[in-house]
């Protein structure tokens, strides 16, 4: 049986659409692994988005999964943004489109 973490309103949406699914509440000790898997799932969906609208939706989902993972681990959005800014300053951005050969 395959399982994946879903957003809070998904059970109601499935029910309204006549899509009978089974849900359970995750144990607190499994949330870190479930959220890490969700981040990977959303990153893959982002990488494969074909339209601009799909890309926007997938980026939003990826950011929500990352936000929830950070929150679970006691990391604030301000801390992430501060670290992003620091790394941009010390390692640069992606704006010059540089590609490393033979990494």
Rg (CA), the chain: 17
Q: What per-residue confidence (pLDDT) applies to 1? A: 61
Find, among 19, 3, 62, the residue nearest to 11 by Cα. 19
Average pLDDT over residues 21-48: 97
List C-alpha distances in Å: 11 to 15, 17, 25, 99: 6, 10, 11, 43
pTM for this prediction: 0.90
> What sign does the CA torsion over 52, 44, 3, 61 have?
negative
Within 13 A of 21's CA, how many CA atoms are on the CB side?
17
Q: What is the mean pLDDT of residues 73-90?
A: 98
């Amino acid at each position: 049986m395959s399982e994946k973490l879903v957003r809070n309103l998904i059970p109601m949406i499935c029910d309204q659409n006549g899509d009978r699914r089974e849900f359970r509440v995750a144990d607190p000790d499994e949330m870190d692994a479930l959220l890490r898997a969700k981040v990977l799932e959303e990153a893959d969906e982002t990488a494969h988005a074909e339209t601009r609208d799909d890309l926007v939706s997938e980026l939003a989902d990826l950011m929500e999964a990352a936000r929830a993972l950070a929150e679970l681990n006691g990391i604030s959005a301000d801390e992430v943004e501060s670290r992003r800014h620091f790394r941009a300053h010390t390692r640069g951005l992606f704006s010059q489109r540089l590609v490393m050969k033979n990494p």
